């Protein structure tokens, strides 16, 4: 992706070398108090910090609000696809170049959406850190210089002391929900549905410190930390929902099939063999990959969609999954917004067929919000990268919670699916730091 932003004003660009690890740099900026709103986004090759709102787009169920530099805020009604509402709004940005960062809720895909569906900012100051060098780009020279001083400071912020959360609460209600889903699968209402449970945390949470502790204990495909309009979240995404480069090549990474990990060499090897040979897990993964292929075929050139690394084991913190990559090249006239729309929500966090699974989730669970939605970065040049939001913590108005789900198919059992949610919650529950 190209530079995050550009306006008619002169941009400040500074390059500094750093010796701290990027995680320390990103959380130092997040905890500095310089920015009311920010997003940290980690990919394997780079870390990005987006601080302050130069531009902002907020999508609700009926309206989309935009605020661009030099212009008054606007609010308009929208109909049709929410992805089109976002695309059209960003097309009107008075910025020659930009990159936006933010989040999209699960309800973005609901047939009758309610509440806030997306919140993205074009940052006032952006930091990209890679290979010992950080590039700072901003519209405020003084702010950019403050950021440079923070990046080169010697002291590392304290990460706080975790207070582990008990993941085994709420088992009876969850098992009942799984049993209801199994009955509906037996009645041929759908093939697969992801049923999740919310786990409330009984104390306010230091989200930044939790990110530090959790990231050091996890091996995510993507990680993120954000605070937008007082809503905070951090997570260690096990899979890429949609990644589109400026040339139009699309990749998604469905994971399905789960066993515990990190229990010792012998136990991990045994559970891996069990995962690779379990008919229920293999079936769950295969139908997810097939669905991802079908979705990309709707927006990609015929013949370009392919599967690679089929059913390889991916180690993600306290769990291991069966994983595959599905890729293709966008057809002429298609954009990254079309790819996101086709793949959202992730098949491994919704179900098959998706419309029926989304309807069942709405009945069984109510509003999910960011859980099983996406954290996304999108650029003027058509590039987009989005992480499926799982293994995450959420905090708003002094309340914090976790959420995890399991894929329910005909061969599922309520007890095993409950255990799977415990295994997934254990990727973050031991690392939650109270706010002091």
Task: Tell me if 12 sits within 8 A of 115, measured CB to CB.
Answer: no
End-to-end Cα separation, the chain, in angstroms: 38
Task: Tell me if 197 sits within 8 A of 405, measured CB to CB.
Answer: yes
Residue in 239, 281, 284, 417 annotated catalytic: 239
Q: What is the Cα–Cα distance from 436 to 426, expressed in whole angstroms?
A: 23
Q: Where are the beta strands (DSSP E) in 204-331?
A: 222-228, 231-237, 240-244, 249-252, 255-260, 306-316, 319-329
Look up residue 196 and give its two tokens: 């999740």
Answer yes or no: 239 catalytic.
yes
Half-sphere exposure of 336 (CA within 13 A, CB side): 25
Task: Tell me if 364 sits within 8 A of 405, measured CB to CB.
Answer: no
Q: What is the Cα–Cα distance from 378 to 90, expressed in whole angstroms?
A: 10
Omega cis (within 30) before 353: yes
Q: Count other Cβ atoms within 10 Å, centred on residue 130.
A: 13
Sequence-ordered alpha helix ranges (H) in 265-327: 265-277, 279-297
**Coil, helix or strand for 82?**
helix
Enzyme catalytic residues: 239
């Amino acid at each position: 992706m190209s530079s995050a932003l550009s306006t008619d004003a002169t941009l400040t660009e500074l390059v500094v070398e750093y010796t701290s690890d990027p995680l320390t740099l990103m959380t130092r900026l997040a905890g500095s108090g310089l920015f009311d709103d920010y997003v940290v986004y980690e990919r394997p090759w780079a870390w990005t910090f987006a601080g302050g709102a130069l531009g902002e787009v907020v999508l609700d169920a009926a309206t989309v609000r935009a605020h661009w530099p030099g212009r008054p805020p606007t609010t308009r009604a929208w109909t049709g696809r929410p992805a089109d509402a976002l695309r059209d709004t960003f097309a009107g940005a008075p910025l020659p170049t930009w990159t936006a960062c933010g989040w999209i809720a699960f309800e973005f895909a609901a047939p009758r959406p309610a509440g806030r569906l997306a919140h993205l900012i074009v940052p006032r100051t952006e930091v990209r850190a890679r290979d010992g060098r950080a590039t700072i780009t901003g519209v405020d020279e003084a702010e950019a210089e403050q950021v440079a001083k923070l990046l080169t400071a010697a002291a590392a912020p304290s990460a706080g002391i975790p207070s582990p959360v008990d993941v085994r609460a709420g088992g009876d209600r969850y098992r009942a929900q799984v049993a209801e889903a199994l009955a509906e699968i037996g009645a041929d209402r759908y093939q697969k549905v992801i049923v999740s449970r919310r786990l409330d945390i009984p104390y306010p949470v230091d989200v930044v410190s939790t990110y530090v502790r959790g990231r050091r204990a996890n091996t995510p495909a993507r990680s993120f930390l954000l605070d937008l309009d007082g809503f905070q979240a951090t997570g260690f995404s096990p899979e890429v929902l949609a990644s589109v480069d400026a040339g139009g090549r699309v990749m998604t990474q469905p994971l399905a099939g789960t066993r515990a990990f990190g229990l010792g060499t012998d136990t991990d090897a045994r559970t891996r063999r069990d995962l690779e040979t379990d008919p229920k897990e293999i079936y769950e993964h295969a139908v997810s990959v097939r669905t991802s292929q079908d979705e990309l075929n709707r927006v990609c050139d015929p013949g370009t969609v392919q599967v690679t690394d089929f059913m390889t084991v991916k180690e993600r913190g306290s769990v291991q999954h069966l994983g595959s990559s599905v890729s293709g090249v966008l057809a002429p006239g298609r954009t990254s917004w079309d790819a996101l729309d086709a793949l959202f929500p992730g098949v491994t966090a919704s179900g098959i067929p998706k419309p029926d699974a989304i309807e069942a989730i709405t009945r069984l669970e109510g509003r999910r919000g960011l859980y099983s939605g996406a954290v996304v970065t999108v650029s003027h040049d058509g590039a987009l990268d989005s992480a499926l939001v799982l293994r995450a913590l959420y905090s708003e108005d002094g309340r914090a919670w976790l959420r995890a789900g399991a894929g329910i198919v005909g061969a599922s059992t309520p007890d095993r699916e409950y255990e799977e949610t415990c295994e997934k919650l254990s990727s973050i529950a031991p690392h939650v730091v109270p706010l002091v």
